[in-house]
């Protein structure tokens, strides 16, 4: 057996009401002035801002609440201007993956003394942060709170660009499942598919290892067991089982995020980027579109490993697993074809080209050609 090396640099604080640990963490870090990054509406609409202000009443806070899904580079540049103009002791990214990514990348750009594109295209390096970052997710899917990755949209090139660096890991992740209790069903569904895609992609990555496989398999198990309860409930009034489901989905997202942070993603992730640009679909839905087809292509390269996992999940074979994934997408009202996203058949060649050139494709255990990718896209058209 090959030697496995596993080192996760993010301190993880997990559990219901763990948000109340935030004050002590900041005091330990000797912080007073805070740069808080969030989405435009969530903090106010959910009551989370009021709770945060109560916890942080003894701190000076600047709220940067201009983040939108799939944030363009100019939003990052706006955040950087504030970091340049004012001095902060720590940053907090609170929200979905876009808010946390924005916090990560704006600090990296500020520290490099560069612009966003210099970092995205390798002209400037990502350096160790001058101030600590605490990530607080309010969704259960992206795993950004425990990964060294960010994603941003280049509006000029009309592309989503991913960046990875050890120095993009948050110093601390506070994962309070209670913050996800008010997630509406469509966001719960999309983020769940994001998490399960991360888990599968980790399993078939060339860099997978026994430790990450344990995280990924447990994530898949938790999602299959809990997603129906998490999505079907009224998010305004959660019963005990629905609350348990949301707690378990937070754990599943974290586990998948840890797994993918060590193995990187694969073909489904690579294909999701151009699909999202063409359709403006969420990352979770975009990844899930090809998940079943990519599983079929990767299975022959890892059949023994997957057969053992299927057995532990009480799944008979590859066909049953693919059927389970397809059923999950339908039950969550996720798009199942390119056509329903408004993508034209003549776009398939360009999507395949962009997918093939994406770095994540190099981590996929099956060596897919552009023709293979085109066939995947035609199958789901």
0.85 surpassed by pTM: yes
Pick the CATH number of 182-379 from 3.90.25.10, 1.20.120.50, 3.20.20.140, 1.20.1090.10: 1.20.1090.10
Handedness of CA 310, 315, 319, 324 (dihedral sign): negative
* pLDDT(350) > 70: yes
**Mean of pLDDT over the chain:** 94
**Per-residue pLDDT reduced to its tens digit, 146-169:** 999 999 888 887 888 899 999 999
**Per-residue pLDDT reduced to its tens digit, 112-124:** 998 899 999 989 9
**Per-residue pLDDT reduced to its tens digit, 281-304:** 999 999 999 999 999 999 999 999
- Position 349 scores a pLDDT of 96
Domain covering 11-179 assigned CATH 3.40.50.1970 in the classification = yes
- Position 156 scores a pLDDT of 82
- Position 42 scores a pLDDT of 77
Domain chopping of the chain, boundaries: 11-179, 182-379
How many angstroms separate the CA atoms of 120 and 123, rounded?
8
How many angstroms separate the CA atoms of 51 and 48, rounded?
5
- Position 235 scores a pLDDT of 64
DSSP, collapsed to helix, strand or coil, labels residue 333 as coil
Structure tokens at 265: 């993603």
How many angstroms separate the CA atoms of 207 and 360, rounded?
11
- Position 44 scores a pLDDT of 80
Q: How many CB atoms lie within 10 A of CB 327?
A: 10
Closest CA to 104 of 157, 143, 50: 143
How many angstroms separate the CA atoms of 145 and 344, rounded?
35
- Position 363 scores a pLDDT of 96
HEC profile of 141-168: CCCHHHCCEEEEEECCCCEEEEEECHHH
How many angstroms separate the CA atoms of 64 and 40, rounded?
9
User: What's the chain's length in residues?
Assistant: 381
Q: How many CB atoms lie within 10 A of CB 244?
A: 15
**Residue 40 or 30, more confident:** 30
State the first-to-last Cα distance of the chain, in angstroms, to the nearest integer. Answer: 41
% of the chain beyond a pLDDT of 90: 84
* pLDDT(236) > 70: no
pLDDT category at 234 given cuts 50, 70, 90 is: low
- Position 40 scores a pLDDT of 81
Sorted by sequence, the CB contacts under 8 Å of residue 235 that are 6+ apart come out as 181, 182, 183, 184, 185, 188
- Position 54 scores a pLDDT of 95
Structure tokens at 259: 């797994």
Cα 276 from chain centre: 14
Q: How many CB atoms lie within 10 A of CB 179?
A: 26
């Amino acid at each position: 057996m090959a030697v496995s090396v596993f080192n996760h640099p993010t301190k993880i604080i997990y559990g219901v009401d763990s948000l109340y640990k935030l004050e002590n963490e900041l005091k330990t870090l000797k912080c007073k002035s805070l740069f808080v990054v969030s989405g435009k509406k969530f903090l106010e609409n959910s009551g989370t801002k009021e709770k945060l202000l109560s916890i942080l009443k003894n701190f000076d806070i600047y709220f940067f609440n201009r983040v939108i899904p799939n944030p363009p580079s100019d939003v990052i540049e706006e955040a950087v201007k504030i970091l340049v103009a004012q001095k902060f002791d720590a940053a907090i990214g609170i929200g979905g993956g876009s808010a946390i990514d924005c916090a990560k990348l704006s600090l990296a750009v500020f520290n490099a003394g560069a612009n966003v594109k210099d970092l995205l295209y390798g002209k400037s390096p990502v350096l160790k942060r001058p101030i600590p970052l605490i990530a607080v997710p309010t969704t259960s899917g992206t795993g950004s709170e425990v990964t060294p990755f960010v994603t941003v949209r280049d509006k000029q090139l009309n592309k989503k660009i991913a960046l990875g660096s050890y120095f993009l890991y948050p110093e601390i992740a506070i994962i309070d499942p209670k913050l996800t209790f008010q997630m509406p069903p469509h966001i719960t569904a999309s983020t769940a598919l994001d998490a399960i895609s991360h888990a599968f992609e980790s399993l078939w990555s060339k860099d997978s290892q026994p430790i990450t496989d344990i995280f990924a398999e447990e994530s898949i198990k938790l999602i299959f067991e809990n997603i129906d309860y998490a999505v079907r409930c009224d998010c305004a009034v959660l019963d005990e089982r629905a609350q348990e489901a949301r707690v378990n989905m937070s754990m599943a997202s974290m586990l998948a995020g840890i797994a993918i942070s060590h193995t990187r993603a694969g073909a489904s992730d690579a294909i999701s980027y151009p699909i999202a640009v063409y359709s403006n679909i969420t990352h979770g839905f975009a990844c899930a579109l090809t998940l079943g087809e990519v599983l079929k292509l990767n299975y022959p390269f890892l059949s023994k490993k997957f057969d053992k996992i299927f057995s532990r999940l009480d799944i008979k074979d590859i066909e049953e697993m693919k059927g389970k994934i397809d059923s999950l997408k339908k039950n969550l009202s996720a798009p199942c074809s390119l056509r329903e996203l408004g993508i034209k058949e003549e776009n398939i060649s360009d999507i395949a080209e962009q997918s093939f050139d994406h770095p994540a494709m190099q981590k996929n255990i099956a060596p897919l050609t552009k023709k293979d990718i085109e066939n995947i896209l035609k199958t789901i058209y």
